[in-house]
Amino acid sequence: MKDIIIIGGGVIGTSIARELSKYKLNTVLIEKYDDVASGVSKANSGIVHAGYNETLGTLKGKLNVLGNEMFDELSKDLDFPFKRNGALILAFSEEDMAKLKELKFNGEMLGVKGLEILRREEVLSLENNVSEKILGALYAKTSGIVSPYEMVIALAENANVNGVEFKFNSEVINIEKICDGYKITLSNGEYLESKCVINAAGLNGDIVNNMINDHQYKIKGVKGEYILFDKIAGRLVKKTLFQVPDKISKGVLVTPTIDGNLMIGPNAHKGAKIDIKTTKEGLGEVIDKAKRSVSQLPLNRIITTFVGVRPCLKSDFIIEEVNCAKNFINVIGVDSPGLTAAPAIGVYVKNLIKDSFNLIPKDNFISTRKGIIKFDKLGITEKNELIKRDCNYGKIVCKCELITEGEIIDAINRPLGARSVDAVKRRTRATMGGCQGVGCLIPISKIIARELNIDISEVMKNKKGSNMIGYKEA
C-alpha cells in the first residue's frame, strides 16, 4: 500500500509531489496523459501575479502572496526561467484611477509589496508603446513571467529524483474506500491502494471528487483565447500590461513571454471543458481589447493562436479534507492565480496531512535540479567546447528556435523524459518558432524513434492515436 497518491500532473499536483518528496513517504503521482503539464498548466498566461486583486481572508489572497515570494529561490534551485518584469494596471478614466487606489490598498492589506500609483508621464517613461489615452497606472513590481510547462517539468523531475513514482497514460476510473485507505482503479485495469489520496485533477477534479464524496461538485470550464507573436514583436513591451479587472477575470493582457515573444489574451467565456478551438470572433475580441493598452499591435508578426481552459467552481480555491472521507484531500477549483500560488499550495497540503503521517525529513533530499542546456543562450566559446564534448550539439534541428539534436536527446533521456513530439516541444521549444514545426517535426520524430528504439510510425504528437507518421518504415 502506498502512503500518498496524487491525481493530476499539472502545476498543483507536481508542486505537492515535490514538497512531499522531502519526506520519507511512498508517493505516486497519476496522470491521465503521456506527460506532465498536459492539461490546464500547458496553456495559460505564465504570469506570476503580485496578488493585489484577491480578496482578503481567502486562500487565493493568502497563497498568491506566499507563492509569489517563493519563486526566486524555487526557480534558482530548479533551474527554470523566471523574471520579475513587473506589471502595470492601466487606467483610462478617473473612475479607473479611483479603482487603482482601491487595488493598491487591497494589495497592501494582503501583504503585497512594491505597489505604486504612477502618473501618465511616469508610465510612458517606462513603456513608450503604451496607448497615450491612459491617465496612469498601478505599478506592481513583484509581478513576473515564467514558462508554466517548464516550471511543471522542473518540479516533476525533482520530485521523481527524490523518489516520487509517476504513472502516465493512467486515467482514474473508480475510487472506493477500503479499511485502511482507498483503492484506485485505472483505465488499463491496474489498481493501487493508498492511505491518502490528493485530488489535484484540474478540470476533472469534480469527477474524481464525485467518486468518493457525498457532496458532489460540477466544474465548468472558462475558455480563454490567446495570440502569440514572434520575438521581434516581443520587444514591444517590457512589463505585463493589464487593464482594470472586472468580476469575471483579470482581463486581456499584453505581455512579453519569458522566451521573448509577445502574447495577448485571454478573453473569458464559460463553456465546455474540452472546447479548445479558437474562433474568429474570440480572437477579434482579444485584439480589440489589447489595442486599448497598445494601439499599434504588429498583427503581421502573429505566429500562432491557442486556447487555455481553466476550472470554474467557486470564488475561492477548495483545499480541504473531505468530511466523509478521512485522508481524501481535495485541491480543486484552482483557477487564476493557481500558477502563482502553486508552491505555497504544496506547503499548505503538506500541513493538512502532517497529523495523519509521521513526516520524517529525508537526509538525502536533493533540493536542486539542472535543466536542459539551452545552446542558443551560450557564448561562442561555450558552444565550441560543448560541441567538442558532444557533436550532437553541433546539429541544428529546429532552425527557427536554434534547437540542437543534443538538446532533444537530453529531453528524451533525462528523468521523466519526453515520449512524444509535444513533450520534446515543452522541454526544448522545438517547433515553437515561426514555422510552427513545418521544418522539424519529421527530424524530431526520427530522433525520438531512434532514442526509444521504436518505429517512427509509433511516435505520437501527444496522446495515443496522434501518430506523427502514417506509415511503418521498412
Q: Is 269 a catalytic residue?
A: no
Q: How far is CA 137 from CA 118, 134, 148, 363, 381, in A?
A: 5, 8, 27, 48, 44
Question: Is residue 261 classed exposed, middle or buried when 0-12, 13-18 and 19+ CB atoms within 10 A define those classes?
Answer: buried
Give the residue carrying C-alpha cell 526566486.
72
Q: Helix 59-78 crosses helix 338-353 at what angle (to 10 degrees)?
A: 100
Catalytic residue among 2, 22, 32, 49: 49
Question: Is residue 304 classed exposed, middle or buried when 0-12, 13-18 and 19+ CB atoms within 10 A define those classes?
Answer: middle
Rounded distance between C-alpha atoms, residue 367 and residue 365, angstroms = 6
Backbone φ/ψ region at 327: left (φ over 0), alpha (ψ -120 to 50), beta? left
How many other β-carbons are positioned within 10 Å of the β-carbon of residue 122? Answer: 14
**CA 470 remoteness from chain centre:** 31
Rounded distance between C-alpha atoms, residue 59 and residue 128, angstroms = 37
The helix (run of H) or strand (run of E) holding residue 280 is: helix 280-293
Rounded distance between C-alpha atoms, residue 10 and residue 31, angstroms = 9
Quickly list DSSP for 205-271. HHHHHHTT-SS----EEEEEEEEEE-TTGGGS-SSEEEE---SS-S--EEEE-TTS-EEEE---EEE
| Contact status, residue 164 vs residue 149, Cβ threshold 8 Å | no
Provide the CB-side half-sphere exposure for 394 (13 A, CA): 8
Rounded distance between C-alpha atoms, residue 209 and residue 463, angstroms = 25
The helix (run of H) or strand (run of E) holding residue 382 is: helix 380-389
| Contact status, residue 335 vs residue 309, Cβ threshold 8 Å | no
Q: What is the CA radius of gyration of the chain?
A: 22
The catalytic residues are: 49
